[in-house]
Amino acid sequence: MMNPFNAFSISPDYSQANALALARVSKLAYEPKGIIERIAWSWKLDFQYYDQDDTQAIILENQDFLILAFRGTEVDPDDILTDLDFWKVSGPLGGKVHRGFRSALDDIWELPDGPWHHIDNMMRSREKKPIFITGHSLGAALATLASAALCEFSYFPMGVYTFGCPRVGDWRFARALNHQIGHRFWRVENNNDIIPRLPPWFFGFRHPGQRVYLSTWGDIIHQPSWWYILRDRLRGRWRAISEPLTDGISDHGSMEYIKGLMIDS
């Protein structure tokens, strides 16, 4: 498999190469441990794997950067219950967040050998590296919460790239996270993907970060207007008219994000 990190940029600015590389890592996080380890080795990256109570995460790193990626939703009762448990609880940085997502992150975050301790030890050492955080679907929600948790300790990620991310917290949480790293938080959304519209806004949930929108024509638009999105979603529905009930689901696939980012790269 081609190494997607050959053009990786250590920058807080949006990078097409970084978005594509991290979309591939988000997809890789769904794979079994052995496959992830083999591919990490082929990419010349060190590898850590975490699995606790059906929450999985990986760390990939070299001397230049560290990437924390969370696995997304699988067809699994525990994952589905996590997604549906959207009562609000206190979140990092203040405000309220989705209870299911917060519980899933708590399962893994502070394990004795978990990702928090790995990152904390690295940041306290002489070898501190830029941190990138990513994930797709449920993994994107966990990436969002992990970013906020790091910010509480002034460990500010160099870049956060999420793909098909559901809404995670209320406006106070979104505002606080934007205040810390909104200029380096990139929320990639593919055309009619239904998941970024869940939980519904009228339950008080809001998105942080800057929207990067993948259009039905293959364009990549930063912070598009609501009018542009409405028209493009209608175009997407028309193009998928033979499958009217599945467009919002098919657009959510992790491979669809990779393909959308490859078109304009």
Residues for the chain: how many in total? 265
Count of helix runs (H) and strand runs (E) in the chain: 10, 10
215 is catalytic: no
Q: In this structure, are residues 23 and 254 in contact, taking their beta carbons and an 8 Å threshold?
A: yes
Catalytic residue of the set 170, 193, 247, 251: 193
Handedness of CA 55, 60, 66, 67 (dihedral sign): negative
Structural contact between residues 212 and 186, judged by C-beta atoms closer than 8 angstroms = yes
What is the C-alpha to C-alpha distance for residues 13 and 100, in angstroms, rounded to an integer? 31
Helix (H) or strand (E) holding 167: none
Q: Residues 15, 26, 107, 137: which is the catalytic one?
A: 137
> Which residue in the block uniquely carries the two structure tokens 């219950």?
81
- Cβ–Cβ under 8 Å, residues 180 and 153: no
* Beta-strand runs (E) in 127-257: 131-136, 159-163, 185-190, 210-214, 220-222
Contact 147, 115 (CB under 8 A): no
137 flagged as catalytic: yes
- Contact assessment for residue 102 and residue 138, using Cβ atoms and an 8 Å cutoff: no
Residues with a catalytic annotation lie at: 137, 193
